[in-house]
Amino acid sequence: MATVQTEQVTLTVNGQSVTVPKGTLILDAAKKIGIDIPIFCSHPKMAPVAVCRMCLVEVEKMPKLQPACAVYVADGMVVKTTTEQVNKYQKGVLEFLLINHPLDCPICDKGGECPLQDQTYQYGPGASRYQFDKAHFDKAVPLSDKILLDRERCVLCWRCTRFSEEISGERELALIQRGVHTIIGTFNDEPAKSAYQGNWTEICPVGALTSRQYRFISRPWDLDRTPSICPGCSMGCNIQIDARNNKIGRFQSRENLAVDDSWLCDYGRYSFPNFQRQSMERPRVRRDGRLEEVAYEDAIAFTVDALKRAGGQAAGWASPADTNEELVLFRRLFREVLRSPHLDHRSAAVPDAEPDDMSLAIADIERLDCAVVLGGQEVIDAAPVLHLRLFKAQRKGLTVLKVGAGQVAEAVAGVRPDCTVVGILATEANKAAAVELQSKLQRKVKGSVRRLLVTTGPNGRGAKDLGILPHLGPGYASLNGQAGKGRTEWPGAGLRALYVHESSPLHGFTPSDAESMWLPTLPLIVFHRFKPSPLDEMAHVILPGHAFTEKDGTVTNMEGRVQRISRGLDADWVLEDWRVFQEIANGLGAGWAYESVADITAELVGSLPPYAALNRGERVLWSEPG
């Protein structure tokens, strides 16, 4: 297919000439040459509505001022954004917007990062001429258990209602009444059920929609902002950890067009209390049936002695929320130092993983003709932001077929044979069905069929890639008959020690019934974890570790994109998890000498060539995409 040459047009903005593709808005053309036009209702992800009238600019030969966010450029257009008339209108629009705005910035959570506040200072009049009482509406109306709506602060920009209609497709928020009585609300004032409500607070240009969890926690200038990755699921959405006094205030989204398209789901966004440390914990060792606080050296020495006795009969479980660097050392500790093959990262419910290319990228969903969601809502629940990508593609013409996990025949029948690019989305648990569907569809349709599996945990894909599996080594290499036993087979396998490493309470080691019977019979349980859990009662050694939000490293998302996480909170008294692995390994006779996380990352990239993608910001691919 030949690339379509987009027609270019040249226009003048404030005397500067700029060339942009046809179909660009004046606003974006001005932004390209660094000219700022104030906006409230316009949003790059949503269709223009031009309701706030803040972006009015002068266009030569047009009788009245035009909204820059809704007028497309034309060849030879002459736009002026700083004339006296434009300034007068900007002042007028702001004066009108502020007539009924309560101006309660001192108590508003948006104060300090509020577009209305900023633009009033930059473009607004110094004082209001309005002498009468302001109109009063309801304040702090709970829209759901997550969001509060302040109807007085609302400037009716429609961003939230448009998000609800165009981005999430749930149509939960609507404009009710008319004129000055217009309010934002849900149908019948029922609580909103959307899984994407946090985005409303982020796109609101005033303090009308605010988060209940973040209510009065902090001012924007108090926050320490750290770029990181969401620990909720395997999507790998980019987040910013906003913390005040070493306490997380909120997770905000960071735009990564290839992954999250600048949105977050509520499950991930509001999961942060799970990553907040409650107490200053010390390592503990069980002596005479009681857990005693000891120094790290003593706890590690105790673990080394006990693991030496267990040797090849020690099993290791690493959480799918660990970083790649921790997983590299964890695997080497078991496979190379202890010579034990019993390594796993999965929960009991997930079947064996196989080498897999997972060649469909998240962003490529938009380029599909037909997408089969095998498992329907189950897949969306496992990675909620996928829904936003699917819905965006659906609005552009993608056919989405949602079928049950076992309904392969229905899925094959539902896909039109003339489709050229077909995608299959499924969870890890339904992998066998997805592979079957892929081969059947490949025979039916003309073009290519690719699949994307939603893995478990923010780094479930990394755990597989790096060989935290009983039967495979790093890079899905065969173990040549040295395969160990998987987690489901551990009870009754005659094991003598279990090492559990978990850094996220969302993806912890939850014992099954069989395991609950088996765990108390084990001579040694080492529990290396971040937060107190019921497993503490059975553990012989408890080693405090860092939470997902407290460490540096890399994680691999479901499509194989390796992204960095960084330390957003300090917990200096806790020994870094990889250092604990290194000291245990050195106690057992290994001679590791890693100085920092970067050393391990460098070794990882060196030993597994596909992981060199990390340095290019690309995806890790184990085979060429078909």
Partner 1 sequence: MALREILLGPIYIVRALLTTFKHNTRPIVTIEYPERQKAVPPRERGKHILHRYADGLEKCVGCELCAIACPVGCIVVEAAENTPEHRVSPGERYAKRYEINLLRCIYCGMCEEACPYDAITMGPRYDLADDHPDKFIAVKEDMLEPLSASVADTAVPSGAPSAQPVARKW
Q: Of residues 129-168, which lie at the interface with partner 1 (CB under 8 A)?
A: 139-140
Q: What mask, x for binding partner 1 by CB under 8 A, covers residues 14 to 33?
A: --------------------
- Distance, in Å, from the CA atom of 365 to the CA atom of 373, rounded to the nearest integer, reads 11
Q: Which of residues 556-575 bind partner 1 (CB under 8 A)?
A: none
Of the candidates 219, 287, 309, 395, which one interacts with partner 1 according to CB under 8 A? Answer: 219
Q: Does 107 bind partner 1 (CB under 8 A)?
A: yes
Using the contact rule CB under 8 A, the part of the chain among 219-227, 298-306, 345-353, 576-584 near partner 1 is: 219-227
Interaction of residue 221 with partner 1, rule CB under 8 A: yes
CB neighbourhood size of 134 (10 A): 14
- Residues that bind partner 1 (rule: CB under 8 A) add up to a total of 18
Instruction: Name the residue nearer to partner 1 (CB basis): 109 or 325.
Output: 109
If the CB atoms of residues 140 and 295 are measured against partner 1, the closer one turns out to be: 140
- At closest approach, how far in Å is the CB of 211 from partner 1? 13
Q: CB atoms < 10 A from the CB of 402, how many? A: 19
Min separation Cβ 39 and partner 1, Å: 22
Strand locations in 258-398 (E): 284-287, 290-293, 314-318, 343-344, 370-374
Torsion of CA 382, 384, 389, 390, to 10 degrees: 70
Tell me the C-alpha distance between 620 and 508, whole Å.
Answer: 26
Q: Which residues contact 516 (CB under 8 A, 6 or more apart)?
A: none
Give yes or no for a contact between 457 and 275, defined as CB atoms under 8 angstroms apart.
no
Cα 61 to the center of its chain, rounded Å: 47
Cβ distance to partner 1 smaller for residue 218 or 533: 218
For partner 1, the closer of residues 116 and 437 by Cβ is 116
Q: Which stretch binds partner 1 (CB under 8 A): 126-134, 158-166, 333-341, 546-554?
A: 126-134
Tally of CB atoms within 10 A around 570:
12
Q: Which segment (122-130, 275-283, 518-526, 582-590) binds partner 1 by CB under 8 A?
A: 122-130
- Least separation in angstroms between residue 222's CB and partner 1 is 7
Residue 92 binds partner 1 (CB under 8 A): no
Contact stretch for partner 1 (CB under 8 A) within 100-108, 257-265, 423-431, 523-531: 100-108
Interface with partner 1 by CB under 8 A: which range of 120-128, 370-378, 451-459, 462-470? 120-128
CA 150 – CA 109 distance, rounded (Å): 11
103 contacts: CB under 8 Å, gap ≥ 6: none
Nearer to partner 1 by Cβ, of 222 and 352: the residue is: 222
DSSP string, 75-88: TT-EEESSSHHHHH
Non-local CB neighbours of 205 within 8 Å, separated by 6+ positions: 40, 41, 114, 115, 116, 155, 157, 159
Tracing tokens 């309470």 back to the chain, one arrives at 505
Q: How far is the CB of 352 from partner 1 (least distance, A)?
A: 50
State which residue, 103 or 538, has the beta carbon closest to partner 1.
Answer: 103
For the bound state, the minimum distance from the C-beta of residue 103 to partner 1, rounded and expressed in Å, comes to 6
Give me the amino acid identity at 72.
Answer: Y
Which one of residues 189, 222, 292, 352 is an interface residue with partner 1 (CB under 8 A)? 222
Name which of residues 176 to 215 contact partner 1 (CB under 8 A): 215
Helix axes 324-332, 597-607, angle to 10 degrees: 70
Task: State the nearest-atom distance from the C-beta of 119 to partner 1, in Å.
Answer: 14
**Binder of partner 1 out of 103, 183, 405, 479 (CB under 8 A):** 103
Interacting residue with partner 1 among 36, 60, 75, 104 (CB under 8 A): 104
Return d(Cα 624, Cα 387) in angstroms, integer. Answer: 27
Applying CB under 8 A, does 593 fall inside the site for partner 1? no
* Rounded Cα gap, residues 455 and 443, in angstroms: 26
The size of the chain, in residues, is 626
**Residues contributing to the site for partner 1 (CB under 8 A):** 102-107, 111, 126-128, 139-140, 215-217, 219, 221-222
